[in-house]
Structure 1
Amino acid sequence: MLHTVWKGKLNFGLIDVPVRLHSAIDDVSIKLRTIHKICHTPIQYEKMCPSCGREVNNDETMKGYETSSGKFIPITDKEIENLKKPFEEEKDIRIMNFVHLDEVDPLYFDRSYFLSPSEGGKRAYSLLHEALSQSKRAGFAKLFLHSDEKLALIRPYKEAIVMETLHYHHEIRDIRDVPNLSAAQEVSPQDLQLTKTLLEELTSPFQPEHYKNEYQAAFTKFIEQKLEQKETITLGHEPAPKNVANLMAALKASLDYPIAPPDQNMKKREIKRKEAF
């Protein structure tokens, strides 16, 4: 059973179809961890302040937008929540119009999701699926998903309806910026005919299940062999978090000399930081 990532209604005209959204893509990539060669402890990636030279926790951070002129506009989590609220409350995939499926270039495709009918929506779901299949059309829609407003394409796929999230047009880079593209070069009719003949000879039905990730298969076999040969190590114990009181003492010490120039206070701050720990 696929996990539901979103639940709402698919609507077009006066028709509402209650649906659930499920990710159609399974991430099967092999993930590796980075460990310390000496003690075999997993490496942590901490939030460090380059100015203070120490780790900071989430309570000490804030979000903001940096302008092209270098100014910083602070934005609170509450302000972001208030901005999202009216969009998140609208649990609809709004089909604005229908397009011919072959008009949409695959360059615009982002992620694929399966749509399944919720309670009371099977008849309308089947009706839309059949209409899209026979007309070779797709619904052009909008919805709010993963903290952003998405464009989407609603299309039939086998027995299901699939939603493809799309890139906005302004997100597609200008083809004129691609290096080394020049005006169309003249090609000889003979070369063109030979190339078309080659394409014909290499053309076969699309059967994606016949193609495998051979590198991933080789990597998996490599890992299995290492496991069989007992080429393993025991991970070291990760240290407990630093004492909060010590962290607060270091923070206080760093604020004891806020006015004098940095070169005068650097040594004093360093001494107090060492004393705090």
Structure 2
Amino acid sequence: MSSSSPPRAVWTGALTFGLVVLPVRLYSATEEHAVRLREMHKGDGGRVRHRRVCERDGQELGLEDVGRGYELPDGRLVPLTDEDLDHLPLPTRHTAQVLGFVPLADVDPISYSGKSYYVGPAGNAAERPYTLLAAALARSGAAAICRVAIRTRERLAAVHPHQGTLLLQSLLWPDEVRDPGDLAPSTPVTERELELAELLMRELAGVEAAELRDRYREALEQLVDAKITGGQIEAPPQPEPAGDLLTMLEASVRAARADR
């Protein structure tokens, strides 16, 4: 979070564990830099725009004329205003209640839903319990599992220290995680292949995350430039399995050592 401009809280409430009430604010911990392509008419290159049209009378609506509603089984819509939703009888709208503590390593990575929030204390009175919870979690290697409603959904979440700050990461509900079934093959590997694979992992240990970047935008810009100028671009070669596994592992270890 930048110190030049104060971040905007996306949720304000209290994190409770036992009888301890910790007033907190949540701030978005991530931001997307995705490249967004525009829709266009293939025939003449005109920009395609989506309009809000009422199904009943065909009237085109402005954003100020559009509300939200809950659809009943018979298709009728029950209008719900922001004020209605503010009075939703859901305790987790303003309280993230800790359900229990588990080792952070035991949280299945597939459960993380991709939404992460920095947790900040809300007011001076919250600083001491905040520091206590962060220190206790750091010392024990645990995560606090809670449920919290952010925007329009209630979710499970894991709260744990991250670079000296508490981080809340939303989790999928158990019934949202699919079973992999029988995707994993049962083909055995040899002890020598396993030893070489572990050796290759040691040779390739570590990733310089600060040097990584999303190269999609660069590739897209090259493609657009080629389309404008009539130039050609070469597709990168696609890796293909070649040779037996043991030979490929041995060659990979040699290449990794040569690159160091």
So what's the TM-score if we normalise by structure 2?
0.70
Count of residues in Structure 1 that have an aligned counterpart in Structure 2: 216
Unaligned runs of 5+ in 1: 67-71, 230-277
Report the residue type matching 1:64 in the other structure. E
Query: Quick one: distance in 1 between partners of 2:164 and 2:50?
Result: 45
CA RMSD in angstroms, aligned pairs only: 3.4
Q: C-alpha displacement at 1:116, in angstroms? A: 0.7
Q: Return 96-105 or 189-198, whichever deviates more.
A: 189-198
Which residue of 114, 117, 127 corresponds with 2:121? 117
CA contact (8 A) 2:16 2:98 kept: yes
Q: C-alpha displacement at 1:115, in angstroms? A: 0.6
Matched, 1:32 2:33: no
- Which residue number corresponds to residue 205 of structure 2? 203
Report the residue type matching 1:87 in the other structure. L
Q: C-alpha displacement at 1:92, in angstroms? A: 0.7
Which residue of 138, 151, 168 corresponds with 1:133? 138
Query: Quick one: distance in 2 between partners of 1:60 and 1:139?
Result: 37
CA contact (8 A) 1:62 1:74 kept: no
Trace 1:230-241 onto structure 2 (pairs within 5 A). none
Matched, 1:212 2:216: no
Matched, 1:86 2:93: no
Q: C-alpha displacement at 1:34, in angstroms? A: 3.3
Q: C-alpha displacement at 1:217, in angstroms? A: 4.1
- Which residue number corresponds to residue 155 of structure 2? 150
Matched, 1:4 2:9: yes
Which residue of 27, 34, 46 corresponds with 1:22? 27
Quick one: structure 1 residues 209 and 197, their matched pair in 2 at CA, closer, same or farther if it must change by over 3 Å? same
Query: Quick one: distance in 2 between partners of 1:105 and 1:60?
Result: 38
Trace 1:52-71 onto structure 2 (pairs within 5 A). 54=58, 57=61, 63-64=70-71
Query: Quick one: distance in 2 between partners of 1:90 and 1:7?
Result: 9
Q: Secondary structure at the match of 2:76?
A: strand
Q: C-alpha displacement at 1:61, in angstroms? A: 9.0
Quick one: structure 1 residues 89 and 12, their matched pair in 2 at CA, closer, same or farther if it must change by over 3 Å? closer
Q: Secondary structure at the match of 1:102?
A: helix
Query: Quick one: distance in 2 between partners of 1:82 and 1:200?
Result: 53
- Which residue number corresponds to residue 185 of structure 1? 187
Query: Quick one: distance in 2 between partners of 1:6 and 1:138?
Result: 20
Q: Secondary structure at the match of 1:77?
A: strand
Which has the greater radius of gyration? 1
Q: C-alpha displacement at 1:220, in angstroms? A: 6.1
Query: Quick one: distance in 1 between partners of 2:81 and 2:66?
Result: 17
Q: Report % sequence identity.
A: 25
Unaligned runs of 5+ in 2: 1-5, 230-260
Q: Secondary structure at the match of 2:8?
A: coil
Choose between structure 1 and 2: higher helix proportion: 1
CA contact (8 A) 1:84 1:147 kept: no
